Amino acid sequence: MGMEAKPKYKRVLLKLSGESLMGEKQYGIDPQMLQHYARQIKRLVELGVEVAIVIGGGNIFRGLQAQDAGIERVQGDYMGMLATVINGMALQSTLESIGVYTRLISAIEMKQIAEPYIRRRAIRHLEKGRVVIFSAGTGSPYFTTDSAAALRASEINAEVILKGTRVDGIYSADPEKDPTAVRYERLTFTRVISLGLGVMDMTAFTICRENNLPIIVFDINDPDNLYRIVMGEAVGTLVEAD
């Protein structure tokens, strides 16, 4: 037996958008997308990588759209947080159906369906090889799920945030609209700010920058990318300290 290649990362935080769960649908959850993510996550767990997940809620409800419906901002944000719990429950079920142990943790207490967020307990779950799904954002209005990802990743000492998107990294312009857009392989936090690139919202980005937490933005639709990233391949765009 030759030496098996070892993963580059021991503990990662995977950020998924709620919209990514829609697949081809206009709304809600596509079971095929749940399977797609669950299989990729299982592959990481089998490598011995500790995986935490933060999932958005935009496929069900976006707090920012609430104002158009006459719902005040704070109420809308809480509604969006609850949407992330629904997504978390769906992902948990799918992971468990393929034999992956999980814990669903909610920043808003609902003890019938999720554990409350207790930092040391969450870390213990990771150490025991369980996939930890963080839901309900930060538990506070005015913060996006990107901020929740940055905050939780910092709290659990994740080595990197893996931000799964529809495009294969960060571009100089929107590649879906501008054919001349070029993809960056590596960027510093300072350069992202000076170029005005939208990686995450500023609050989330600042938490990453202050805690020296690198971000990899990558195309999650390719089923091998997550595996390739944790094995140390250069996939997507890496944003790191200066």
Residue boundaries of the structural domains of the chain: 11-163+193-211
Higher pLDDT, 147 or 3: 147
Got the DSSP string for 144-207?
-HHHHHHHHHHHTT-SEEEEEESSSSEESS-TTT-TT--EESEEEHHHHHHHT--SS-HHHHHH
Got the DSSP string for 79-113?
HHHHHHHHHHHHHHHHHHHTT--EEEEESS--TTT
Q: What is the pLDDT of residues 2-40, one digit of tens each?
A: 567 899 999 999 999 999 999 989 899 999 999 999 999
Residue 1's pLDDT is: 55
Residue (of 123, 224, 120, 236) closest to 171 by Cα position? 236
65 falls in which pLDDT band (50, 70, 90)?
confident
Could you tell me how many residues make up the chain? Answer: 242
Higher pLDDT, 179 or 114: 114
Whether residue 63 is predicted with pLDDT greater than 80 in this model: the reply is no
CA distances from 99 to 1, 50, 152, 195 (A): 27, 15, 25, 44
Domain 11-163+193-211 grouped into CATH 3.40.50.2300: no
- What average pLDDT does this structure show over 200-219? 95
Q: What is the pLDDT of residues 128-140, one digit of tens each?
A: 999 999 999 999 9
Single-letter code of the amino acid located at 32? Q
Whether residue 188 is predicted with pLDDT greater than 60 in this model: the reply is yes
Tell me how many helices (H) and strands (E) the chain has: 7, 11
Residue 64's pLDDT is: 66
Q: How far apart are the first and last CA of the chain?
A: 40
| Region of residue 129 (phi > 0: left; psi between -120 and 50: alpha; otherwise: beta) | left
Upper half-sphere CA count for residue 214 (Cβ side, 13 Å)? 18
